[in-house]
Amino acid sequence: MPIYEYRCESCGFQKEHLQKMSDAVLTTCPSCGSDRYIKQISAAGFQLKGSGWYATDFKGGKAKGAPASETSPPCGGHCACHPS
């Protein structure tokens, strides 16, 4: 479920809410009760990994001649996020 950020235009109260995409937008501020509780626009908090369509169509390749230390993951590829 996505996390949405809301801010009250009356009192300035801010909070993140875990909601289903089908849930109604919140309008009442939990702090002051105002009906000026507005959903904020924020960046998505996910990262695409693996060999999906995005890797071949949108993901940049490794630069030619780049040192191995610049192209290798910080973990060296030997962790839970990089299967052997």
- The pTM score is 0.51
In a domain, 26, yes or no: yes
In a domain, 24, yes or no: yes
In a domain, 17, yes or no: yes
pLDDT confidence band for 2 (50 / 70 / 90): confident
Q: What is the DSSP string of 7-43?
A: EETTT--EEEEE--TTSPPP-S-TTT--S-EEEPP--
Structural domain harbouring 27 = 3-39
In a domain, 15, yes or no: yes
Give the pair of three-digit tokens for residue 21: 């995409």
pLDDT of residue 43: 73
Residue 26 CB neighbours (<10 A): 15
80 DSSP assignment? T
Mean pLDDT value across the chain: 77
78 pLDDT more than 90: no
In a domain, 8, yes or no: yes
Residues 51 and 82 sit within 8 Å (Cβ to Cβ): no
In a domain, 44, yes or no: no
As for how many domains the chain has, the answer is: 1
- pLDDT digit string (tens) for 65-76? 555 555 566 666
